[in-house]
Amino acid sequence: MLRTTIDLDAIAHNTRTLRAHTQAELMCVVKADAYNHGVERCVPVMEANGADAFGVATFAEARRVRELTSKPVLAWLWDVSEAIPEGIDVGVPSIAHMHALIDAPSVPTVYLTVDTGMHRSGIDESSWEEAFALAAQAEKQGEFSVAGLMTHLSCADDPADPYTDLQAAAFRRAIAQARLAGLDVPRNHAANSPATWTRPDLHFDMVRPGVSLYGLEPVDGLDHALRPAMVWSAPVVTVKPMRKGEATGYSRAWEAPDDGFSAVIPAGYADGVQRSWEGALEVTIGGRTYPQVGRVSMDQIVIWLGDNHGGVAPGDEAVLFGDAAALARRAGTIGYEVLCAPRGRTARTYTGEGK
């Protein structure tokens, strides 16, 4: 009953738009099942429209993407106890991870992850000298190959924040120090989606956009003619009259302001409709927009049709969102979370040919 409809032509358009925006190599980030759009269909489309490599979080995700492309696949979130998969490029966020790679039976290509100020993952600057010396020795002994350095920017979605400049300076120090230690580091990358659009000076050798591939502008106020690729919809289950003052749902949290009609949509928190969206979710049916009212339940939400001048009837398609960014603004969250929300009983369908 619930479905996300993914527009592959939008994915293709967004990939080409990013490709045209930079002279650096383009790593398309497809973690979390391509931000909930489906790697099996998205990866071939991105590859056909300019992707040079793919990035994911985990080894499990990397193995799945590896089956879909011959392009490099990088995974950067892993535990030192995990077996290192062959044919996957590996992000190295600590010296302990580096030792795990040295002991691995394969000879992986690695990117050393340096912490330039996000303080989340990566080798601290105080340990760069030790880490780069160890990496240079391991590379010389044929234990792994260092393709470059990588880092992550914490404030690039706010181009006015000077912290990005501090991180950029730290990353340049890391590159210089790595080369002094004997590492070539020919392919370095820091730019996420917002930095790809706003900081061409930080493109380095490769950019690493994610959410823009799926049609979201990562910086408020910018417009790069991206096309949202996901629509989440469900059929109307019931339409019923309500009298003024009657309440719907748990806790009687909402009362009808006038005589009118309500409708039930079969989507609840088990399917990804967040309870935090209560009062912010607007459902579109036949070109008209209706507010979600009352509590979000496990399996369903209620919308208020007013006098139902639009003639909403059971079976009509109700769009929960087609513009994830708009819902995010109303709900006080981010478009990333909205895109990742549909789950549970949601089926995925595709339109377009990825051209």
Residue ranges of the annotated binding site are 120, 298
Q: Which of 240, 244, 250, 355 is catalytic?
A: 250
C-beta neighbour count of 235 within 10 angstroms: 15
Cα angle for residues 346, 225, 221 (degrees, 5° grid): 95
Task: Tell me the Ramachandran region of residue 32: left when phi exceeds 0, alpha when psi lies from -120 to 50, beta otherwise.
Answer: left
C-beta neighbour count of 8 within 10 angstroms: 20
31 is catalytic: yes
Query: CA torsion sign, 97 to 99 to 105 to 106?
Result: positive
Distances (CA, A) of 351 to 37, 41, 122, 335: 12, 11, 39, 21
Indicate the annotated binding residues for substrate: 120, 298
191 closest CA partner among 219, 164, 152: 152
240 is catalytic: no
252 near 242, Cβ under 8 Å? no
Q: Which amino acid is at 206?
A: M
* Residues identified as active-site: 31, 250
